[in-house]
Structure 1
Amino acid sequence: MSSAPVPATDDAVIHGLNYPPDFLSSLPVLLPRPAPHTPIRALSASQFASIHRIATTSHAPDHVLFPFLHGLEGDNEQQNAFFSVTSDAPVIPPRFRGLIWVACEEDDTPSSDDESDVIASDDSDDEAGSDVGDMGHSFELDMDMDIDADLDLDHNHGQEAPGSPPSTSPSPAPIDPTCDAPDSDGAPHMHPVKCRAPRIYTNTALARDRSASSSTSSSSSSFQSLSMPSPSTPATSLDLDSPPPSCIPLGPPSPEPKPRVAPLIAFGFKPRDLLQINSDGNAEFVHLKVPDGISLRNFEIQLPIYATLSDIVVHSRRGATRAAFALAEKFKQAVEARAASRIPYHVFVLDATPAEFRTKLSHLLVGPHTINLAQREKDEMRELTRASEIITIHSPDQHDKLADNQPWTPGLGQVFLGNVNDVPFLPGDPSGRNIDLLDSSGNSPADGMGYDVCIECRLRAPRPTLGLLLSAQEHLMELERRWQVSGGKGPRPPPNAAAIVYLPFPLLPVAEEMTLFLEFLETLLKPNKQRGFGRPAKILVWSSDGYTESSVLALSLIMSVRGMTLPEAYLELQVTKKRSFFVYESDVRLLKTVEGRLARDRYAKVPSPRRFLSGPARTNSVVNSSAMSASYDETVNSPIVSMRRPRASTSPLLPSLVDDHQVWFDDPRFDGSFPSRVLPFLYLGNLNHAANVYMLHALGITHVVSVGECALIPPDSSTGTASTPSAAKTPSFQRRGSLYIEEREGRIKVLDIKGVCDDGIDTLEPQLAPICEWIDRAREQGGKVLVHCRVGVSRSATVTIAYVMKYLGISLVEAYLIVRSRRLSVLIQPNMRLLYNLCGWEVKLAHDRAAGDTERLRTELARCVNWPYLAREVHLLNEKYLHI
C-alpha cells in the first residue's frame, strides 16, 4: 500500500468554514444555550449567501477529512485495520466545519389555509381575534404530523401527540404503489421510490381558546419556557407568551398569496436524511452503519458522517416559521449529543421572505444549474447512441459522389444503429386497419428517419424463423406494388409507422440463424432493379441502450455487406463511422464463427440457392415458391474483395505487419472492445489497452497517460520485437509490440504518473493540473490521448473527468455523467478520496474562469455541489449496479 505524505497542520486550525470576526456575535439569538453549547441564531438571506460562498470556496485538503470519511467511527474492524486504526485508541474527528442546509418539512406541500406561523414583529393580532389563535397547540400537532413522522417514529407513528386535541385533518390520500413520481424530497433519482401520501396541514386547532395554551402546567405539552433555560433543559421547548428580549417575537401571518410556491435552495437535504428519534423521544443524528468488509466507495455513509462535522442551516420557503424553529431545536439537540471532543458546531434558522429568496438567493435556488443526475445520465446515453448511419449501399453512379456517414438518403439502401428512442412512434390505429400504408406519418425523413424495417436486439428475443422473414419480405413487396399501382414516381416513400416491419433478434443466436438473417437483410439492401423492386430498404438496428445487445448484429452486417474481416469491421464502426460500441468476450466467439462462414462463402465463389426474392415476384398474397427457388441475383451474391485499411498515418515507421489488423485483434490482451471514446481525441481504457500498441496505432492514438500503472515494460528479447523487420516473420503471438519500444522510438508519447494507488490513501489533487495541461498540448498538436490505469474506472476516470471539466467548461456533475455514459458497459467508480479531489478541482476551475469577476464567480460557484450531496447522488446512481 502506498501512502501519500500528510502535511503537518496546526492543531488550532479549523478547516472548511471559518466565519469573519464578530460575525456570530452579530446574529440574533433565537434560543440561548448554556456554555459550552452555542445558541440557535437567525441568518438573513445576505448572510447565508456569504457563508455559503465561504464554505464552497474553502475546500479542505483531502488529508484533513480522509480516512475519517471512510467510516472510522463505525464498528467495521476490517475497515479500521485497513487504515491502521486500532480499537484501543479513540478516533479523533478532524478539525473541520462544513455547512449543510436543511429544508423544513412543511415545504413538501404548501398549506391550504395556514399562513400564521411566521416569526415576525408581534402577536397583537392574536388578541384581536385573528385566525392566529392557539399557536402552541397547532404547532404541537404540526410537529407530530410533519417532523417526527418523517423521522420514522416507531413508538408514536400514526398516533396523536400526547395531550393534544384530536386532529380534524382529512385522511391522507391513499398511496399509489405503482406511482413512478419523484420522492417527496423533490429530487428524483434513477430509481423511482414508492410515493408518499401528500401531507395534510390544518389550522383547526388555532381557533381554540387562548386560555388553553396558558395552562401549560396542567398540560402534557412538551413546550416549556425558553426564557430561562437551564443546563438540564432539553432544547425542545418554546414558550409563546414570554419570549426573551434577544429573541425575534411572533407576529402576524405573511401576506403572500396562496398557494405559496417559493423555490428551495439547491443541493440541500430533508430532516429524515439526517435525524432520527431515539426511544427517549430525543433527536439524534442517524446512526452510522459502515458496511461489512473493506470498501473505498462507501458513498451512502457520507451524509451522516459529514452532518456531524457541519453547521446546520434550517430554511423554509415561508421564512423563519415556527416549524423551522422547532426543527432547528431538534438539530441542536442532536449536535449537543455529539459535542464531546469536537469543535463547537452551530445551528441557524434562515430568516428570509419568498421575495428575498428570489432576489438575494436566486443563484442558489433550484434552477437550470440543478441537475437530476438519473435523468441526465439517461439523456447523455441516448444522445451518445442516437441513430446514425453505419452502412450505405452506393449505386455505381453514386459511389464516388457520396461520402461516409451519410444521413437518410433517398434511393439508397442504408442501415442505422440506434436506441429505443429512435423507433418510430405508432400514430392512430396501431392495428393498421384504418391507415394508409404509404402515408409516412410518424416515419418521414422530416421527423428524423424513414425506416422500412426495425430490428430489436435483446437477450431473450424470439428467434427469426424463415417463415417470419418471408412474411416480412411479402409485406415490403406489397408496399412496392401499392406504390406502383398508385402511379407514384421515383423511389417509394417511407411507410406509415404502423406499416413498418418490426423484427426481433436474440443477443446470441446460433451461427446458422445469423447467416440466414444477414442474407435476408442484404437482399433488402440490394434489390434487383431489373425485377421491379424499386427502393432499397432503410433498416434500423436498435437495442434499449443502443450498444449492448445490438453491436453483434451491427458488426456482422458490416462484415457481410462490406466484405470485411472482423477486425476491419471493428475499425469501420469505431473509426470511420465514429460509432462507439461494446462487445463482450463471449460475443467475440460468435463473431469469429460468422466471419469464418462469410469468408468461406465469399471465397468459394459458389452461389447457394437464394431463399429470398430480389424483387416483387408475387402478384397476390400467395407466395410464388417456384419463382422463389429459381430467383437469384448475381449482383447481390457476388464475392466482395476484402477492404484493407491503410497503415495508420501517425506511425509511418512501423513495420508492414501493422497492415495486418489481425495482429492486434488476436492479441491475448484484447478483450473484445476498444477503450472508451470520451471526446473525439480522448480515450479512457485499461492497462491491456495501453499495452496493445498496434491497436493504439489503428485507432490513431499518439499519446498515453498512465495513472499509477506503468505500461513501459521492456519486451522480452527472446520473443523478438515489432520494431525490427524480422519481427514480421515471427508468429503473431511473439510480435505483440511494446509501448516501451514505441515510446523510445518516438511514435507514442507517454506520461507516466507514478505512486498513485487505488487504495483510498493516495491522492491525485496536486497532479490534476499538470496532467490536464499535458493532454491539452497533445490535443493542440493534433494527437489522440489514451488515459488508463489498471481497470479504467477509478484513477484514470478521475483524470478524464478533470480534463472534461476544464476543456468543456462544465460542472463536476456534468463531466462525471458524460464520462460515465461514454464508458458504456464499464461502470466508472473513482474512490471517495479521488472524487473529493474533483470537488476541489471544480472550485479551482471556477476561480480560474471567473478571473476576479465577483458576479461570474458567484454564477460558477452556484454549480458546485457539496460533498455530501454528490456522494448521496452517486450512491443512488450506483444502487442498481452495486451491492456493497
Structure 2
Amino acid sequence: MPRSSTPPPHLTLNTSSRGTPAAIPNKHIPICSPGPAPFRGLETPPASPPKDSLIETSSITYPPSTHCSLYSEDPPVWMISAQRLAQALEHISTQPLPNPEQVFPWLHGLHAENQIQLAFFVSRRKSVRKVPKCIRGITIVKTGGDLSVSKLKGAIAPDELLQGRCMSEDAGAFIEPDPKDGFSVRNFQIQACKMALVSDIIVYGDDKTNPGATIELAKKISRAQRAYETKNGIQRGLFNTFMLGDHFCVVEQKYPELVAVDPEGCMTGKVMDFFYWERLEMCEMSKASEISNNVYLGPTPDDALECSSSQGLAIDVNIEASDLAHVPDPRSLKNLKISLKDSKHAPLHIEFPSSGSIMPPTWSHAEADGLMEVCKWIYEIANPQEVNKPEEQAVNDGDDIEMVDIARPQKVLIHCTDGYTESSLLGLAYFMYAEGLPVHDAWVQLHREKGRNFFAYPTDVALLTAIQPRILQESPRWKEDVFHISEPQWLSRIDGSLPSRILPYMYLGNLGHANNPELLKELGITRILSVGESLSWPEGTKKRLNWPSENFLFIDRVQDNGVDPLWDEFDRCLRFIERGKLDGTATLVHCRVGVSRSATICIAEVMNELGLSFPRAYCFVRARRLNVIIQPHLRFTYELLKWEEFQREKRNEPLRRELEWATIAREIALMNKPYSR
C-alpha cells in the first residue's frame, strides 16, 4: 500500500461508536446460527495435523536475562533495545502456530460463570479451561493509548489490557477478557487481551511521552502479570514486562518496517492495515468502467485512498447517488444542458436518489417520470450525434430540453461511495434504456458482459419490472412489443442480490442462490459446492437443466459452531473448484448465509490461487462479498492462518506471518464494530 498522508481513523475497542471508522453504506452483518451443540462421540473428526502433533511457540525474549537488563526488581521490569524488539517480532512471526485443538475452545472465551458458553464447549472436561502452555506471543502497549500517531506494528492501548484507569495507583490487574454473559463463537474483540495474558509485554512511548509515565505503566503491567500467574498456576516469570530503551525515532530510523503510523499521524504503508486494505480492494473491484457509450459506473473518487475511479477518463458530468437527493426536475436538467455547451466548463455535479429510495407500491408517477427524464438526459448528452440527426431535428423543436444541442459527447460517471449499492437503481435503469434491454437481460449483462458487481434492493427490482414497458417503449434501441416480454423463472425468486463473484471462476453465495439453478445458469455457474447445507431442488430439476452429478460436492457434518473444523476439507474443496476453472466454468460455493463456512473456503482458494497472505485474502473476499460482511468464526479464522503456513511450505517459502493472531482478530473486530447492532 502506498504511503498515505491521510490520518488513520481513531480505532478503539473500548469506546462508543463515535471512536470507530465510518461504515461503508448499507453493509450489514447477518446473523449466523451456530447450529446444534456438539455431543461426545458425534463431533466431526479433528482437523489435521493430528492432536498428538503438538506445537509450542518459542520466544527469544525468554529468559529475559539473556539479552535484556533488569530495570526494576519489584515488580520486575526489563529494558529492551529497538534491535532486540525487531529481532523478537521477527522470530515470533516465523514460529508455527499451535494446532487449533491445542488452543480451542480456550480462545473462544470460557468464563467460569458463563454457563451457556461452558455447557456448549466444555461440558465433557473442565481441563480445557486452563491456559494452554503451548502458546506464546508478544504484546506491544503504547503509553497514553493514542494510536493515531507513532504506532508500532500490532500496538494496543493500555485500557485494552488493564482494569480501571490505567494511570491510577490501584491499577494492576488485567481485564477479564472472557464474556460473563451470552454465547458467541466470534469473540474477536477479546483476542488482543487474551493473547496478552500469555505474552511478553513491551511498553513504549513516543518522543513526546514523559518517561515516568512509561515506567509507571510498565510496573502496573508487571504487577498484573504476577497476579495472573498466581491465579492460574503459571510458572513465575514465564511472561515478563519490558520497556523500550530507545526513543521512537530510533525505531523509525533503523526499523521502519515496524512503524505503522508515523509521528505526524500518516500511515507508512509498511504495515498491512485491514481498514484501508478493504477500501483499496473495494476500489479495485468497483473501479469505473463503461456500461454504455460514454457512461460509466464506479465509486466516488477519493484522492485520500489514491483510487480515483475517474482518473484518466476526463469525466464531464458526475452524478452522485445519495440518500438525501431528489429527482432533478426538467427545468434544472435543461439549465445543466445549456451549461454543457461551454467547451471549457468544469465537471458538473448532480445528485440522484439512491437505490431503494423509490418504494413501490407507494412511488409516485412523478418519481417514475423523473427517472425517465434523467435517463433520457444522460443519453442525449452522451450520444449527441444520434439525438441531433437532421431528420430528427424537426421533431425535437417542440421539446424545451431537446432544443439545446451539445457539440461533443459528454462522459458521465454515475457514482456512489462503494461504487455499486446506491447507484444500482439509476445504473440499471439507464442500461435498460440505452441498450434496449428488459430488466432480466440488463441484470445479467451488466454483471457478465460489463463485469460489474452490484447490489440492488428488492424494491428496485419491483420498480424496474413495473415500469419496464415504459423504459423500453421510450428506449432508442428497443423495437419490439413491450407488453409481451416473457419473464424468466429465476427473476421472481431473486432477493436483489446476485452471488458474489470472488474470482472469475468462483462465486460466493447463500442457500437461496444455490436453490435458484436457472439464475446460476444465466451467470455461467454450472458447479455447486455445498458446505454443510444440502440443496432442495424440485424433483427432476437436475435432469431438466442437464446438471451432471459430478458437478456437485456436498461437505457434510460441518456446522458453524466453533467446534467442527474445515481444515480437513480444504484440499478436496479446492480440487473441486479447480476442476471447474479448468473446464472454463464457474463454481458457486455456499453454506446457509454465505458468510462463514463458504467464505472460509473462498478465502482459502484466494490464498492458494493468488498467493496472498491471510489478512490480504480476507480483505479481498470481504470487499467482493458486497453488502454482506463475511464472518468466519474464530476457529475458521485460525485455521486459515494455519493454512497460510501450509501455503508457504508448499511454495518452498520460509514461514513468516504478515500479522499475528491477536492483531488480526483485533482488526476484524474494529472493522465490524460500526455495523454491529
Q: TM-score range by the shorter chain?
A: 0.7 to 0.9
Pick one of 36, 40, 57 that aligns with 1:17.
57
| Aligned residue number for residue 686 of structure 1 | 510
- Describe the shift of the 1:342–1:763 C-alpha distance in structure 2 as closer, same or farther (beyond 3 A): farther
| Offset, 1:40 | 5.0
CA contact (8 A) 2:203 2:244 kept: no
CA contact (8 A) 2:54 2:98 kept: no
1:291 and 1:842 mapped to 2: Cα distance? 33
Pick one of 322, 326, 334 that aligns with 1:458.
322
User: CA RMSD of the aligned region, Å?
Assistant: 3.9
Pick one of 664, 671, 676 that aligns with 2:490.
664
Pick one of 256, 276, 284 that aligns with 2:173.
284
What SS does the corresponding residue of 1:497 show, helix, strand or coil?
Answer: coil
Whether 1:784 and 2:586 are equivalent positions in the alignment is yes
Q: What amino acid maps onto 2:137 in structure 1?
A: L
1:89 and 1:416 mapped to 2: Cα distance? 60
Q: Which runs of 5+ in 1 are unaligned?
A: 106-149, 151-182, 188-262, 393-413, 424-442, 483-492, 603-635, 644-658, 725-736, 852-856
Q: What amino acid maps onto 2:299 in structure 1?
A: N
Q: What amino acid maps onto 1:695 in structure 2?
A: L
- Describe the shift of the 1:296–1:547 C-alpha distance in structure 2 as closer, same or farther (beyond 3 A): same
CA contact (8 A) 1:48 1:350 kept: no
| Offset, 1:43 | 5.3
CA contact (8 A) 1:377 1:817 kept: yes
| Aligned residue number for residue 19 of structure 2 | none
| Aligned residue number for residue 874 of structure 1 | 668
CA contact (8 A) 2:446 2:452 kept: yes
Q: What amino acid maps onto 2:547 in structure 1?
A: E
1:544-587 deviations in Å (ceiling 9; x for gaps): 22111111111111211211111100111101110111012122
Pick one of 125, 132, 156 that aligns with 1:269.
156
What TM-score results when the alignment is normalised by the length of structure 1? Answer: 0.60
2:588 and 2:309 mapped to 1: Cα distance? 40
Highest Rg: 1 or 2?
A: 1
What SS does the corresponding residue of 1:101 show, helix, strand or coil?
Answer: strand
Pick one of 409, 415, 422 that aligns with 1:549.
422
| Aligned residue number for residue 552 of structure 2 | 750
| Offset, 1:65 | 2.0
2:507 and 2:598 mapped to 1: Cα distance? 10
CA contact (8 A) 1:547 1:581 kept: yes
- Describe the shift of the 1:587–1:75 C-alpha distance in structure 2 as closer, same or farther (beyond 3 A): farther
2:176 and 2:62 mapped to 1: Cα distance? 34
Whether 1:66 and 2:104 are equivalent positions in the alignment is yes
What SS does the corresponding residue of 1:470 show, helix, strand or coil?
Answer: helix
1:536 and 1:48 mapped to 2: Cα distance? 57
| Aligned residue number for residue 296 of structure 1 | 185
Pick one of 371, 375, 379 that aligns with 2:280.
379
1:606-621 to 2 correspondence within 5 Å?
Answer: none
| Offset, 1:98 | 1.9
1:446-487 deviations in Å (ceiling 9; x for gaps): x522344332222231122232223333434xx1xx6xxxxx
Whether 1:418 and 2:298 are equivalent positions in the alignment is yes
1:218-242 deviations in Å (ceiling 9; x for gaps): xxxxxxxxxxxxxxxxxxxxxxxxx
1:11 and 1:696 mapped to 2: Cα distance? 40
CA contact (8 A) 2:198 2:239 kept: no
1:533 and 1:15 mapped to 2: Cα distance? 71
| Aligned residue number for residue 496 of structure 1 | 345
1:356 and 1:786 mapped to 2: Cα distance? 51
| Aligned residue number for residue 565 of structure 1 | 438
2:419 and 2:630 mapped to 1: Cα distance? 19
CA contact (8 A) 1:416 1:540 kept: yes
1:263-412 to 2 correspondence within 5 Å?
Answer: 265-276=152-163, 281-288=170-177, 290=179, 292-314=181-203, 326-339=216-229, 340-344=231-235, 345-349=238-242, 357=251, 364-366=258-260, 368-392=269-293
CA contact (8 A) 2:281 2:620 kept: yes
2:586 and 2:378 mapped to 1: Cα distance? 36
| Offset, 1:47 | 8.1
| Offset, 1:795 | 1.1
1:864 and 1:66 mapped to 2: Cα distance? 22
- Describe the shift of the 1:333–1:554 C-alpha distance in structure 2 as closer, same or farther (beyond 3 A): same
2:630 and 2:309 mapped to 1: Cα distance? 38
- Describe the shift of the 1:826–1:268 C-alpha distance in structure 2 as closer, same or farther (beyond 3 A): same
1:28 and 1:638 mapped to 2: Cα distance? 77
1:568 and 1:185 mapped to 2: Cα distance? 50
Q: What amino acid maps onto 2:162 in structure 1?
A: L
CA contact (8 A) 1:316 1:350 kept: no
| Offset, 1:373 | 2.1
What SS does the corresponding residue of 2:675 show, helix, strand or coil?
Answer: coil
CA contact (8 A) 1:324 1:349 kept: no
Q: What amino acid maps onto 2:387 in structure 1?
A: P
CA contact (8 A) 1:563 1:642 kept: no
CA contact (8 A) 2:111 2:178 kept: no
1:736-755 deviations in Å (ceiling 9; x for gaps): x5xxx6132x5xx2232222
| Offset, 1:323 | 6.3
2:598 and 2:477 mapped to 1: Cα distance? 47
Greater RCO (Cα-Cα under 8 Å, separation 6 or more): 2
- Describe the shift of the 1:376–1:551 C-alpha distance in structure 2 as closer, same or farther (beyond 3 A): same
Pick one of 303, 309, 313 that aligns with 1:449.
313
- Describe the shift of the 1:6–1:523 C-alpha distance in structure 2 as closer, same or farther (beyond 3 A): closer
| Aligned residue number for residue 388 of structure 2 | 528
Q: What amino acid maps onto 1:701 in structure 2?
A: I
Pick one of 129, 133, 137 that aligns with 1:99.
137
What SS does the corresponding residue of 1:421 show, helix, strand or coil?
Answer: coil
What SS does the corresponding residue of 1:879 show, helix, strand or coil?
Answer: helix
| Offset, 1:87 | 13
What SS does the corresponding residue of 2:553 show, helix, strand or coil?
Answer: strand
